[in-house]
Structure 1
Amino acid sequence: MYRLHIANKNYSSWSLRPWVLMRQLDIPFEERLTPFESDSNWSTFRAFSPSGQVPCLEDGERTVWESLAIVEYLAERHQGIWPADEQARAWARCASSEMHAGFSPLRSLCPMNCGVRVKLHHMPDALAGNLARLDELWQQGLARFGGPFLAGESFTAVDAFFAPVAFRVQSFGLELGAPSMDYVARLLSLPAMQQWYEEALAEPWREAAHEAEVQQNGTIIEDRRPG
């Protein structure tokens, strides 16, 4: 059985991607969660991850790290990771790669923190540009391939790559066009996403650097975590 190494569900957007994909597609795996440390180099992760980062997938003696590489590794072994339709598959790979490599203002100004609701101090132009591109990309996929997911009828890897954005939209009250907001609601209602969210809220850990990231850019108006 696969072993998937992840970090805190409340914070780790990269961990969510393969986790939600494998859960939604019923690919069995053993979860290993290692909380983020307070130092900046996350040295504990080097025990299982060559890069010292998560996620990291173990398949027997084979180790695969980086979320995009994990998804491609799984695609070689399981049906349904990418869309069956060639055009939809090409589009989904492009959109996933764009998310994997881009949207830096969205990542830095609206870090994933599932348990809080935040009012941003202001809307920087760079973030507004990211949201406009996100809205354009999502509506393009939904319209072109007929929904309800980005590349067609089924949840695939491209939806997993944007799943952390759904939590960011929820936490920071971000506004997108109606089709995109409906898509966010659809992602958040998935059983795997609901499981991740509930387990994120129940985590006992608070990591100072991740908490500070939120407070640099906004005011926490609600914290739904216990304690």
Structure 2
Amino acid sequence: MAEATLTISSKNYSSWALRGWLLCKMAGLSFRETMLPWDDPSVRAELLLLSPSFLVPKLTHRGIEIWDTLAIAEYLAEIRPEATLWPTDPAERAACRSISGEMHSGFSNLRSALPMNLKAHYPGFKVWAGAQADIDRVTTIWRDRLKTSGGPFLFGASPTVADAMYAPVATRFRTYAVTLDPVSSAYCDTILGWAPMTEWIGAAQEEPDELEELDVEF
């Protein structure tokens, strides 16, 4: 029997649901998924970027509810220290927290211009300047971290919270055919070939197309 429940909205469209789900997988937590109905106003607000605060994904474990993705990461790191969701080295752990927090609170232009849509593909997509600045910052983070860690993940041989936080960006770059430098392109390949990601993407492909507002070319 699953020891926890993870409430999510959409596997095709929700980057935050993906992050929470990856963290639970990385922690080795036994959990079942609960999908909120599409007509739930909070789901539409989240997926259309109309709400500043989302209550999904939400992890319920031992009577405790945790609904912010970074809070979920910290909680899982506490109850599953053996999973090393954060690097063990203090300096590396600080760097991991910093770039994870940067993704958690920033890159609004990237989010709005390149919404997550795993089923779609837009070759020749025109990226506007504001979003390009976000893309450049993301790839700078990736190159710096991979140079320091040696890869294939941002902090070395094993994925950390940072990889879970940036994983949805890799899907956006593929969906919108974003031109990347070789190091960033190789990192995207690593993330998209990561077993939990292939499982999630496969499930997203089976999800019905329900939210017409997001199934458009920008």
- Indicate the larger mover: 28-37 or 170-179: 28-37
Query: What stretches of structure 1 move > 6 A for 4+ residues in a row?
Result: none
Map of 2:204 onto structure 1:
200
Write the distance in 1 (CA, Å) between the matches of 2:119 and 2:194: 18
Give the C-alpha shift of residue 157 in structure 1: 0.6
**Secondary structure, counterpart of 1:116 in structure 2:** coil
Give the C-alpha shift of residue 99 in structure 1: 0.3
**Ranges in structure 2 where 5+ consecutive residues have no aligned partner:** 47-52
**Paired residues, number:** 208
Write the distance in 2 (CA, Å) between the matches of 1:135 and 1:52: 27
Give the C-alpha shift of residue 60 in structure 1: 2.4
Identity %: 37
Quick one: which amino acid aligns to residue 154 of structure 2? L
Give the C-alpha shift of residue 29 in structure 1: 1.2
Write the distance in 1 (CA, Å) between the matches of 2:209 and 2:37: 7
Quick one: which amino acid aligns to residue 163 of structure 1? A
Contact 2:27 2:76 in 1 (8 A): no
**Secondary structure, counterpart of 2:122 in structure 1:** strand
**Ranges in structure 1 where 5+ consecutive residues have no aligned partner:** 46-50, 218-227
Q: How does 1:131-210 map to 2 (within 5 A)?
A: 131-210=135-214
Map of 2:50 onto structure 1:
none
> TM-score scaled to structure 2, two decimals?
0.89
The answer on 1:122 being equivalent to 2:126 is: yes
Q: Deviations over 1:176-209 (max 9, x none)?
A: 2111110000000011100100100011242123
Contact 2:153 2:163 in 1 (8 A): yes
Task: Identify, as 1 or 2, the structure richer in strand.
Answer: 1
Map of 1:59 onto structure 2:
61
Give the C-alpha shift of residue 119 in structure 1: 3.7
**1:44–1:143: structure 2 CA closer, same or farther, 3 Å change rule?**
closer
Contact 1:89 1:151 in 2 (8 A): no
> TM-score scaled to structure 1, two decimals?
0.85
Quick one: which amino acid aligns to residue 31 of structure 1? E
Contact 1:88 1:152 in 2 (8 A): no
